[in-house]
């Protein structure tokens, strides 16, 4: 089964997040030309196979927090910290300091 073209756009947007920066699910949806589809971004990222080169760990929620209290939470924290992103004890990232800046180009 071919990959959903919307997921391809999401993955391309996530791949644009620079090392040491984060973006929100909503920002990724906007960049992927899927406004209002933040949940779809989450579904797309959850469907990535293990070992994928897509930097899924750079996507956090609109409150600047890691969203999933799961084993991947610890992995996401570890990866972000390895890139120099400060993650608080409760999983918060300062979006003003570490947020990626985007220019959304509408077609």
Q: Dump the DSSP string for 26-67.
A: HHHHHHTT-TT-HHHHHHHHHTSPTT-SS-GGGEE-TTSB--
Of residues 84 and 1, more confidence is placed in 84
**Average pLDDT, integer, range 73-83:** 93
Quick one: pLDDT at residue 100?
86
Domains of the chain: 5-98 (1.10.10.10)
CA dist 27 and 100 (Å) reads 9
Of residues 7 and 90, more confidence is placed in 7
In percent, the amount of the chain with pLDDT more than 90 equals: 77
Q: Kindly report the pTM of this predicted structure.
A: 0.89
Token digits of residue 81: 């910290």
List Cβ neighbours of 9 (8 Å cut-off, separation of 6 or more). Answer: 32, 33, 34
pLDDT in tens, 16-67: 999 999 999 999 999 999 999 999 999 999 999 989 999 999 999 999 999 8
Quick one: pLDDT at residue 1?
45
CA dist 43 and 74 (Å) reads 19
Q: What are phi and psi of 66, to 5 degrees?
A: -70, 130
């Amino acid at each position: 089964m071919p990959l959903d073209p919307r997921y391809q756009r999401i993955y391309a947007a996530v791949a644009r997040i620079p090392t040491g920066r984060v973006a929100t699910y909503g920002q990724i949806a906007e960049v992927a030309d899927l406004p209002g589809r933040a949940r779809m971004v989450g579904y797309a990222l959850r469907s990535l196979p293990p070992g994928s080169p897509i930097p899924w760990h750079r996507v956090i929620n609109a409150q600047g927090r890691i969203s999933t209290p799961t084993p991947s939470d610890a992995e996401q924290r570890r990866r972000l910290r390895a890139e120099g992103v400060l993650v608080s004890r409760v999983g918060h990232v300062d979006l003003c300091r570490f947020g990626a800046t985007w220019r959304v180009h509408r077609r």
